[in-house]
């Protein structure tokens, strides 16, 4: 499974890299803090996988990186995706390394 660090993701964002960002957390988690990705909660991925682009890089993230890794395994095995990157450490790493101002909000999760 391919992965990307939060600093690499930040560089992609700052450099206007062409990629899709997918958040597989629950809506209540996304309401607390978000990276502004497309919200497709993990349990809805089997029904909504068509929303995930197969023609460009896709970064999948969750709270810590575990749910997103499971989603990526499912998509690669069941639907042949080859363009997916797991965000290492999820939004927790983003808060720690990129945007500490999100920390107080994330503690509510």
Q: Of 99, 84, 102, 100, nearest to 10 (Cα)? A: 99
Virtual CA dihedral for 15, 10, 101, 61, nearest 10 degrees? 130
Q: Which helix (H) or strand (E) holds 92?
A: helix 90-97
62 carries an active-site annotation: yes
Which of 6, 21, 62, 87 is flagged as catalytic?
A: 62
Please give the positions annotated as active site.
62
């Amino acid at each position: 499974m391919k992965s990307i660090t939060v600093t690499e993701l930040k560089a992609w964002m700052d450099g206007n890299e062409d990629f899709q960002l997918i958040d597989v957390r629950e809506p209540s988690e996304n309401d607390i803090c978000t990276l502004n990705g497309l919200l497709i909660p993990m349990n809805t991925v089997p029904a909504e996988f068509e929303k995930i682009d197969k023609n460009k890089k896709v970064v999948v993230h969750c709270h810590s990186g575990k749910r997103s890794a499971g989603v990526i395994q499912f998509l690669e095995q069941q639907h042949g995706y080859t363009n997916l990157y797991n965000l290492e450490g999820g939004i927790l790493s983003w808060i720690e390394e990129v945007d500490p101002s999100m920390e107080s909000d994330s503690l509510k999760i």
